[in-house]
Amino acid sequence: MPRLKLTIEYDGSRYVGWQVQRNGRSVQAELGEALGRLLGGDVEVVAAGRTDSGVHATGQVVCFDTERQLPLKAYHRGLNGLLPEDIAVVRAEEVSAAFDPRRWSRGKRYRYRVSNLPSRSPLRRHTHWEIYAPLQVEAMARAATSLLGRHDYSAFRASDCQAAHAVREVRRLSVEGTPGDAVAFVVEGTAFLKHMVRNLVGTLVEVGKGRRPEAWVAEVLASGDRTLAGPTAPPHGLVLEEVFYGDGPPPRQAGDSADVFEDSA
């Protein structure tokens, strides 16, 4: 039975998130229905990780098993003909039967975008957090360095996060762009806690607005107290850009448990 891996892109604006839920349409449901029509039966689709309502993706990875033998172009061009216009298959490939998009992941890269124009932008309203006061980009970049490495990120997890522990590793956190135009926060790590990226961004933006000193970010991290950090940035600025893989499951570090493979940044 072939196992297929799809890389998909989607605009999350009108979905309740990746995962099937009772309160609205999900990306998982749309993809499952399209695959069911293509393959003539129910298909169970597993993703590398969840994305929340309003969050976008350019590199979400999913896989599924099927008994039908179809050319790969059927899962690319053919499936795109069945999907709504805000979801598309970017790439399709056959993989090992052991491949697990979640447990084989060696990390993810997210990009959070802020529109920093002096007035609102109709073209950016679904893809950027609009902040009209100029942000201090260099100050945010310096403050972000204290968040790199392997730490307990309890101060940046959602109150309802179900992860067994908050230890994660952030390999990259860069702040790029121009004050008064567009600013991007690029975050790469092994795995993420619920709302972790959005909470990191919300905290750094407090520095960018001049409300907090750069050293405050390190103090928040050390405190482990979510109430001391900045607000959660809105979901529509967040994009899952890429999921990284090797030739098999990554080695676990001491203290890791299965929950490190579950995230919803």
Catalytic residue among 11, 52, 256, 263: 52
Q: Torsion-angle region of residue 131: left (phi > 0), alpha (psi -120 to 50) or beta?
A: beta
> pLDDT band at residue 260, thresholds of 50, 70 and 90?
very low
The distance from CA 139 to its chain's CA centroid, rounded to whole angstroms, is 24
Active site residue 52: yes
| 106-244 matches 3-95 in CATH topology | yes
Mean pLDDT confidence for 52-77: 95
CA atoms within a 13 Å half-sphere pointing along the CA-CB vector of 38: 25
d(CA 167, CA 152): 4
Strands 46-47 and 149-152: unpaired
CATH code at 106-244: 3.30.70.660
What DSSP assignment string belongs to 51-65?
A: -BTT-EEEEEEEEEE
Report the topology of domain 3-95: Alpha-Beta Plaits (3.30.70)
List pLDDT tens digits, range 138-188: 999 999 999 999 999 999 999 999 999 999 999 999 999 999 999 999 999
Kindly tell me if the per-residue pLDDT of 258 is higher than 70. Answer: no
Q: Is 110 annotated as a binding residue?
A: yes
Contacts of 43 (CB under 8 A, 6+ apart): 32, 35, 36, 64, 66
| Per-domain residue ranges of the chain | 3-95, 106-244
Kindly tell me if the per-residue pLDDT of 254 is higher than 80. Answer: no
Q: Is the pTM of this model over 0.85?
A: yes
